């Protein structure tokens, strides 16, 4: 998946618009293409990130373009300015995310199974657990990027959704 770009037609070039991702792409050489369901989930996650986000590099002006890849089991954040000038590359160990990704995958599976047969109360309880794990993962992501990348809570949630979609086994 080459990625997606989200046009910002008519948006003023103020400070807020500079603190955002204007493009997110996936490095096909290291990540590879998924099956159609995986590709769909990745595309939705990228669209959601681009729709609304707060993303900045301390001391470096944006907007930014992010290319995600894998380097020796680490997630590579290759960040450049929207005009193509390189800003930085950060390698993020995925080891701290293993448990939360595994748990999130299990609870998502439980949620999708519950939708078919469980009561609304049971579905709501599972969904609350799913949202709690999602929040935990996004907070972990923010902590692991602290000092390098500034993200708000919602952007961290959306970015975790994409990280999860990269691991998701359809």
Q: In which element (H, E) is residue 65 found?
A: strand 64-71
Dihedral over Cα of 56, 47, 74, 143: its sign: positive
The list of the chain residues with pLDDT below 70 reads: 1-16, 168-170
What pLDDT score was predicted for residue 79?
A: 97
What pLDDT score was predicted for residue 2?
A: 45
What pLDDT score was predicted for residue 67?
A: 95
What pLDDT score was predicted for residue 16?
A: 55
Please tell me the distance from the alpha carbon of residue 113 to that of residue 130, in angstroms, as a whole number.
13
Please tell me the distance from the alpha carbon of residue 118 to that of residue 115, in angstroms, as a whole number.
6
- Cβ neighbors of 38 (< 8 A, separation 6 or more) are 165, 168, 170
- Per-residue pLDDT of 105-135, as tens digits, reads 899 889 889 989 999 999 999 999 999 999 9
């Amino acid at each position: 998946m080459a990625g997606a770009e989200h046009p910002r037609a008519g948006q003023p070039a103020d400070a807020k618009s500079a603190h955002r991702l204007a493009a997110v792409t996936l490095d096909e050489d290291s990540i590879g293409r998924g099956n159609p369901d995986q590709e769909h989930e990745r595309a939705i996650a990228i669209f959601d990130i681009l729709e609304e986000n707060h993303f900045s590099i301390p001391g470096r002006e944006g907007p930014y373009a992010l290319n995600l890849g894998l380097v020796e089991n680490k997630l590579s954040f290759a960040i450049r300015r929207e005009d193509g000038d390189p800003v930085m590359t950060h390698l993020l160990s995925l080891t701290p995310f293993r448990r939360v990704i595994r748990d999130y995958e299990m609870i998502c599976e439980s949620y999708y199974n519950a939708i078919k047969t469980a009561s609304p109360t049971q579905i709501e309880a599972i969904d609350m657990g799913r949202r709690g794990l999602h929040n935990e993962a996004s907070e972990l992501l923010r902590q692991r990027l602290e000092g390098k990348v500034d993200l708000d809570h919602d952007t961290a949630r959306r970015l975790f959704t994409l990280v999860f979609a990269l691991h998701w086994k359809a």
